[in-house]
Amino acid sequence: MGTFVMMRAGWLSDLTDWIKEQIQRVWEAFEAFVMDMVIYALEQGLELVALAFEALPVPSFLTNYSVGSLLANAGPEIGWAVQTFKIGECCAMFAAALAFRISRKILTFGKW
């Protein structure tokens, strides 16, 4: 009689373990699906922002000018200062920091 009870408990625990594994697999699949949807929504939102920036026209008063043409008439002193103080690299670092700050504000909705 004791052996019968042990066998009955064995198959019942096997069945409940199998059901538990199936529920865990379904939950993991659901988590992966939700994460993929979040990533997809974020990707679409960022593409929308990029599309909005690309749609902005260049102002007409800036189309005929470039930094090189503006600094060409400034003289050799300005060229020396720009090259010595690495103004181009400084502007690039400033632009990267500004882009990071703006993207951080957008992604956290201004909370951080």
C-alpha–C-alpha distance, residues 93 and 25, integer Å: 46
Please report which confidence band the pLDDT of residue 82 belongs to, taking 50, 70 and 90 as the band edges: confident
Q: What is the pLDDT of residue 43?
A: 92
Please report which confidence band the pLDDT of residue 8 belongs to, taking 50, 70 and 90 as the band edges: low
* pLDDT higher at 106 or 33: 33
> What percent of the chain lies above the pLDDT cut of 90?
38
